[in-house]
Amino acid sequence: IVENETDVARAAAEQVAGVIRAGRASGRAAVLGIATGSSPLGIYRELASEIRGDKLDTAGVSAFALDEYVGLDAAHPESYHSVIRRTVTEPLRLDPDRVHVPNGTSSDLEAECAAYERAIRGAGGIDLQLLGVGSNGHIGFNEPVSSFASRTRLKTLAPQTRADNARFFDSAEQVPVHCITQGLGTILEADRLLLVAHGAAKANAVARMIEGPLTSMCPASVLQLHPDATVIVDREAAAELQ
């Protein structure tokens, strides 16, 4: 638990930078799992500033996004293809060919999900998966009642998630109804998980994730099963912890 959003970003960026440096030192560049949404934006800004200052080198680093809306063209400003390019690929100077986002406009979405799983395996698996948590306890777009064993698949967004994400669109109706998301089983296979949350709106989800029962009603509670999961939250998001 740290003081505020800036401290969350700093502490988390330090961990991500550590994984990137360890990758360079080992000769196998890091494979990162990346999240969209507001929670990780400060982390990406911190990393970008280290890169600009020549304190961090991301050459060879690959990244896999957690999820993508179905039916939004990659060129749409709110598609996760666009968001990842703007907030991660460009500022972190990643090679665009090494940054993967599920294709939500594929004519065969099931094949796309299977190919995404293969691509993660082909890259040797994810070293560090960054996560945010939804106000309803989702991670990725694994909405409540998602199976703990689930793999990358097509999902329907919960009404709560569509309402939460309406702020990125002109109207709530424009938020897509379906998405592709890495499954909980997929996420659990990353070597390390790093979840960040800030603000009072996350306090209930954070408490249920960490101190609540392991339940698919709170998909983030699956972090309790992972041997190397770190959660960094600010005081407001920690407010409902015992």
Is residue 38 within the footprint of ligand F6R (CB under 6 A)? yes
Catalytic residue from among 127, 143, 234, 236: 143
User: How would you classify the pairing of strands 62-65 and 229-233?
Assistant: unpaired
Q: What angle do CA 69, 5, 61 make, to 5 degrees?
A: 55
To the query of whether residue 143 is one of the catalytic residues in this protein, the response is yes
Q: Residue 78 Cβ, how far from ligand F6R at the closest point, in Å? A: 12
To the query of whether residue 165 is one of the catalytic residues in this protein, the response is no
Grouping H, G, I as helix, E, B as strand and the rest as coil, residue 186 is helix
Grouping H, G, I as helix, E, B as strand and the rest as coil, residue 176 is coil
Place of tokens 């939804």: 134
Among the listed ranges 5-13, 37-45, 103-111, 151-159, the one in contact with ligand F6R (CB under 6 A) is: 37-45
Is residue 39 within the footprint of ligand F6R (CB under 6 A)? yes
Maximum Cα interatomic distance, the chain, rounded to a whole number of Å: 48
CA 133, CA 37: separation in Å to the nearest integer?
10
| DSSP 8-state class, residue 98 | G
Of 58 and 136, CB closest to ligand F6R: 136
Q: Residue 27 Cβ, how far from ligand F6R at the closest point, in Å? A: 30
Is residue 63 within the footprint of ligand F6R (CB under 6 A)? no
Which residues make up the interface to ligand F6R (CB under 6 A)? 35-39, 66-67, 132-134, 138-141
The catalytic site residues sit at 67, 136, 138, 143
